[in-house]
Amino acid sequence: MKERDYKKLYEKMTISKDMQERIRQGVQRQKGHSYKWVRVAAAVVVLCLIVGGSVSATIRSGNLFSFLSADYNISKQANHLVEQSKKFPVVDNEYLTCTMKEALCDENTVYCMAEVQVKNPDKYFLLDAKYGLNDYVDVLEDKLKIDGMKGKTIAQYLKEIKKKPLRISAYVKSAELEDEYYDGMFMKTDIRYGKGGKAFLYMCAEDENETLHNIDFHLIGWNPRYDLLKIFENKEELVIQNQSEEVKEYNYKIKEEYIGPEKSIKVTGIHIMETELGLYATVETEEPGKESTDSYLNDHCSVNLADSTGKTLKTVMESWWSQTEEVGRKCKTTTRMHYEKTDLSQGLTLVLEGNQGKSYGPYSLVESK
Amino acid sequence: MKTDARMEEFETIYEKYSPLLYRIAFTYLKNQDDVVDLLQDVFIKRLYKAPKFESEEHEKRWMIRVTVNLAKDQLKSFWKKSVIIDERETLQQRECQNWGLNDTEREIFTLVMALPEKQKIVTYLHYFEGYTCKEIAEIMHCKESTVKMRLKKAREILKMEIQE
């Protein structure tokens, strides 16, 4: 293949008039509507808290356990699992110091808390860059939503208080994953602001298959306006031991052999690993008669565990892992999910959700050998 | 900015960037309908959420980056993956007809589309858009050596006799 052949091919790849018109119409429909973006909203809320001057809006210490228990149903007895070590990494650059304070490994999930201190809080105003891996929005142009300041952008506000924005993002991930191929799956981050340029970073990473031990901690400073530019990037290694000692394992089965009149999906195995912090569920299903994974995937039902009333259990990470393979004249799917701690003695059900919006169940589960 | 002025701005940036962004989006998604949805998002972000650009080149790189990021986000979706797997052959044949590709071009198209996404995008940016490896590394947020490696692998797969 010659370079000219390659270029000729791409020259022919042109957008049709019909498609052009559809793009135009889509953009036109946005007229008069405010554009919604979760990331933007989060940044504005943070600023509302800080600008509002409410001392209670900021926090003095960012204990990892109290942060997690605010969002998840975690037993206070599990507090002892949090590991505090002087061996944890410290980032020290010209803008800030960032010290990993606490970490916790619960089987396939690692939770970490790091404390950030801006070196010159009179000069820099800390902003978070949520989803830093795919960061491409100029938050400085977002409007403040505070009485008396409506209509002002963050950039204008910072100009008034004579501070420069310092925009950071941080995450932890399995050291086994190559940096250049990592796309941000299976991670979660959050930030809480303290006073005087202090902030607490909370990070969570998960591996669908293995217990996490070796973690990479990444801290990135972004140019607040020009998202292609990083002003610093630090990577530190973190080694942590699995702290979950009391792990219980259960097998469940569904009473009905086949589920749903429209979908002949057979649930062949439900395995639950209960740790001190959560539930790791693996659900295996089969669809007899479906010989191709392609056709199977197009008509797929996702599985979810639910309580006795059919209310889906709360997941720790929004993502779930699923793999389908063709075995003989059927397709087998393995799905793994991570739920918050739930009292299993209250009963469990299984719910299936089809890709057309239909749901099936709840189907009662009973413990099996 | 008033709505009419915004739409005028849209027409300008649309004329300027739609061919480039279309090819990039198609490189990832291989599906006209998904490409149209994605480009709507890209242009809406450009109109309502863009940063202040230092230069036209900065704007161009921003548009490329946003397109790549949104395409990658779409590909993360379980359902999007399944549609692409299932309908790949049909969709590609339809596009070949739309673009009036001859047999040789169809063969090249199939080879190019079969490249891994990471290799496809650097190949396109380098050989069609004329970006250097260093510039691509800046756009894609990766090391220059990574770009070179991806180009090398792509060339090996395509067996291209391309002189840099």
pLDDT value, residue A181: 52
The 3 state secondary structure assigned to A189-228 is: EEEEECCCCEEEEEEEEECCCCCCCEEEEEEEEECCCCCC
* CA B16 and chain centroid, separation: 15
Nearest chain A residue to B139 by CA: give it. Answer: A228
Which residue of A5, A24, A136, A295 to mutate against B (max B Cβ within 10 Å)?
A136
Which one, of A157, A177, A67, A148, lies nearest residue A112 by Cα? A67
Q: How deeply is B73 buried, as exposed, middle or buried, from its count of CB atoms within 10 A (0-12, 13-18, 19+)?
A: middle
Q: Which helix (H) or strand (E) holds A349?
A: strand A348-354
Q: Answer for the pair B49, A35: CB distance below 8 angstroms, yes or no.
A: yes
- Whether the bond between A362 and the residue before it is cis, its omega within 30 degrees of 0, is yes
| Cβ-based contacts under 8 A for chains A and B | 154
pLDDT higher than 90, residue B21: yes
> What integer is the mean pLDDT of A233-245?
80
Q: Could you report the per-residue pLDDT of A115-173, keeping only the tens digit for each?
A: 999 999 999 988 776 433 334 455 666 666 555 666 777 778 888 888 888 888 888 88
pLDDT higher than 80, residue A65: no
Which one, of A243, A283, A272, lies nearest residue A341 by Cα? A272
pLDDT value, residue B86: 44
pLDDT value, residue A210: 67
pLDDT value, residue A272: 93
Which residue of B82, B87, B129 to mutate against A (max A Cβ within 10 Å)?
B82
What residues of chain A, 89 to 118, have a C-beta less than 8 Å from chain B? none
What residues of chain A, 212 to 231, have a C-beta less than 8 Å from chain B? 225-228, 230
pLDDT value, residue A362: 87
Contacts of B62 in chain A (CB under 8 A): 136, 227-228
pLDDT value, residue A341: 83
Using pLDDT thresholds of 50, 70 and 90, give the confidence band for residue B79. very low
pLDDT value, residue A32: 37
Using pLDDT thresholds of 50, 70 and 90, give the confidence band for residue A51. very low
pLDDT value, residue B62: 84
Q: Could you report the per-residue pLDDT of B93-128, keeping only the tens digit for each?
A: 667 777 778 877 877 887 888 788 788 888 889 888
pLDDT higher than 70, residue A90: yes
- ipTM for the predicted complex comes to 0.78
Using pLDDT thresholds of 50, 70 and 90, give the confidence band for residue A292. low
Residue A57 — left, alpha, or beta (φ > 0 → left; ψ -120 to 50 → alpha)? alpha
The reply to whether residue B82 touches residue A294, judged by beta carbons under 8 angstroms, is: yes
* CA A233 and chain centroid, separation: 21
- Hey, which of A29-33, A52-56, A192-196, B133-137 has the most confident mean pLDDT? B133-137
Residue with tokens 């990021």: B69
Using pLDDT thresholds of 50, 70 and 90, give the confidence band for residue A299. low
The reply to whether residue B162 touches residue A32, judged by beta carbons under 8 angstroms, is: no
d(CA B108, CA B96): 11
